Each structure stands twice: as C-alpha cells, then as structure tokens.
Amino acid sequence: MTGSTTTPRLGVVGSCNVDLVVRCRRLARPGETVLGDDVVRLSGGKGANQAAAAARLGANVSLIATLGRDESAAWLLDTLRGLGVHDELISRSSRPTGTAFITVDDRGENEIVVSRGANADLDLADVDLEPFDVVLASMEVAASVLDDAASRSRHFILNVAPAAPVNPETLDRCAVVIANEGEAESLSLTTIEHCVVTMGAKGAVHFQHGREVARVAAPVIDPVDTVGAGDVFCAAYAVMWARGWPARDVLAYAVTAGALATLALGAQGALPTHEEVTTWLARA
C-alpha cells in the first residue's frame, strides 16, 4: 500500500441516534411476534457511527448533526466526546433525539426502523464547510441539507443510505457515491463518475461511469452484528480517499475496516484502529 498517513480534516453530516437493540433467534416476518433478549441501549446513527469510526482511524472529525434536549442527547454527546469526535457543530432541536429500533438475529443479520426526530431539523445555514478536506454525508437528514452540503464542500462523499431519491445536481457534485447493492438499484451508475457498491461478505466494487475499475473481496469473518458495518466502510473510505491513497488500496482498506466492525454487538462496538486494519491487510 502506498499513500500518505496525514490527519485529514473530515466533516460528517448525518444522524445521531440512540440504538435500542434486541437480539432474537430470527427476524420477525410481517405480522409475526418473536421473543428476544433484554433490550440494550447503544449509541448509533449513520452520521455518528461514521464520525466515531473515522476518529478511531486517525482523522480529525467534526460531527454536524442535531440532537434533542433530552437525556439521550446528553448520553450520546458523552459517548462521542469519549471517542474523540468534535461536537462544536452539533445543534439542538425541541424534537426528541433520533432513535433506531433494531433487531439482530443469530446470523448477525438485522432489521432497523429509524425515528429521525431531531435529525430532521438539521440545518447547515450557519456551518462553514470550507475547513474540511472532505465532507461525508448520509441520508437520515433532510434532502435539502445534502444539496446544501454538496454545493459548499471542497470534496463531498455521499453514502446513499437509507435509499431515497437524490437531486441529480447533488450526485454530480460527489467525489464518490457509496451504496450497498440494494441502494445501488435506484442509481444510474453510468451517470455517476465514481460509485462504490458494497456487497457485505462479498466485498465491494468501484465503478467509474458504470465501468468496473476495482473489486475487492471481504476477509472471511464470523460476524456477531453487521449493524453499522456500512458506516465504518464509508468512514474508512473517506479517510483514505482524503489521504490520497490509490483507488484499489482505499477499497481494500474500507472493506477490511467494515468487516472488522462486525465483531461485536452495536454499530460502534468494534470500531477498528488504523493499525488493526493495516495488520489484517498485511496478512491477506
């Protein structure tokens, strides 16, 4: 692997949620009730997960998000500070802090319902995005926020999760668009300059205007919980992209970081360090 190991300045625009997680033997079908273990409260939200993962990988990270004014908000802020995420750009709303209701089965598969709450009130009007080398954003905030961020960022990476329509001008402004296989179905890959599609245990592919330019398999790992693995992938991708590493190396690094993130319960339960990722890559 070649490239710099500088400390990129990353702005992460996205959600910050309390994750209420229940483990169960298998996921419920529509209309069905299944019994699960005791509920666990964990910190989550795609934005917060990405910010925490990037900080752990060595970036200088500010989370740009909105919390409520409740006890959950205070708890989430403490957690984020503990992980080294800068919180000066986190605003408050009178709505409740976002909450995700998550079930995880024996195979590590999950189902998630998000009540966005305060996340829906995020507004970037007073936020200066110029200092950031890269702004990474995801879609649990208003679409207008993404359009604003894309138009004012030096380099903008968009994770189209959860899937929803995106303004074509915003897609045009992206340095990279990151989607999982399901989310990629609603994208026209040939019109996007750089699109990275994650495929879970099968790894990831980098397309340039719809043409495959790199493909990386994932390390063989027995996952405990895949919640947040995509967020860690995006964070790792943004950090190494900002460091200017070659496209295939960035992809391999991000795939490995995402896989390592599945080794404990919770979206932020197994965030890998830069050393852990590079050690795994050296073994591969």
Catalytic residues: 231
Select 133 or 225, whichever has its Cβ closest to ligand RIB.
Answer: 225
Rounded CA separation 90/230 (Å): 23
Question: Rounded to an integer, what distance in angstroms lies between the CA atom of residue 228 and that of residue 45?
Answer: 8
Instruction: Return the sign of the alpha-carbon dihedral for residues 159, 162, 163, 167.
Output: negative
Nearest residue to 271 via CA among 100, 52, 20: 52
Distance CA 266, CA 66 (A): 21
User: For residues 99 and 36, is the Cβ–Cβ distance under 8 A?
Assistant: no
| Stretch of 15-23, 24-32, 149-157, 239-247 contacting ligand RIB, by CB under 6 A | 15-23
Is residue 174 at the binding interface for ligand RIB, with CB under 6 A as the rule?
A: no
Which one among 8, 44, 258, 269 touches ligand RIB, defined by CB under 6 A?
44
Listed ranges 168-176, 180-188, 222-230, 237-245: which one lies at the site for ligand RIB (CB under 6 A):
222-230
Candidate residues 121, 133, 225, 231; the one interacting with ligand RIB per rule CB under 6 A: 231
- Across the chain, the runs of DSSP E, i.e. the strands, are 9-13, 17-23, 40-44, 60-64, 66-67, 91-92, 98-104, 110-115, 134-137, 156-159, 176-180, 194-198, 204-208, 211-216
Distance from C-alpha of 165 to C-alpha of 199, rounded to nearest angstrom: 21
Please answer whether residues 241 and 177 qualify as being in contact, where contact means their C-beta atoms are separated by less than 8 angstroms. Answer: no
User: Does 228 participate in binding ligand RIB (rule CB under 6 A)?
Assistant: yes
Task: Give CA–CA dist 4/155, Å, rounded.
Answer: 18
Q: What's the CA dihedral at 46, 127, 80, 93 to 10 degrees?
A: -80
Q: Using CB under 6 A, which of 114, 139, 259, 277 touches ligand RIB? A: 114
Min dist CB 121 to ligand RIB, Å, is: 16
How many residues touch ligand RIB under the rule CB under 6 A: the total is 16
Q: In the bound complex, which residue of the shown chain has the CB atom lying closest to ligand RIB?
A: 44
CB of 200 to ligand RIB, least distance (A): 13
Q: Is 85 in the site for ligand RIB (CB under 6 A)?
A: no
Residue 93 contacts ligand RIB per CB under 6 A: no
Interface with ligand RIB includes 95 (CB under 6 A)? no
**Residue 155: CB minimum distance to ligand RIB, A:** 22
Residue 227 found at the interface with ligand RIB (CB under 6 A): yes
Q: Any contact of residue 19 with ligand RIB (CB under 6 A)?
A: yes
The two counts, helices (H) then strands (E), for the chain are 8, 14
Residues that bind ligand RIB (CB under 6 A): 15, 17, 19, 44-46, 49, 100, 112, 114, 140, 227-228, 230-231, 267
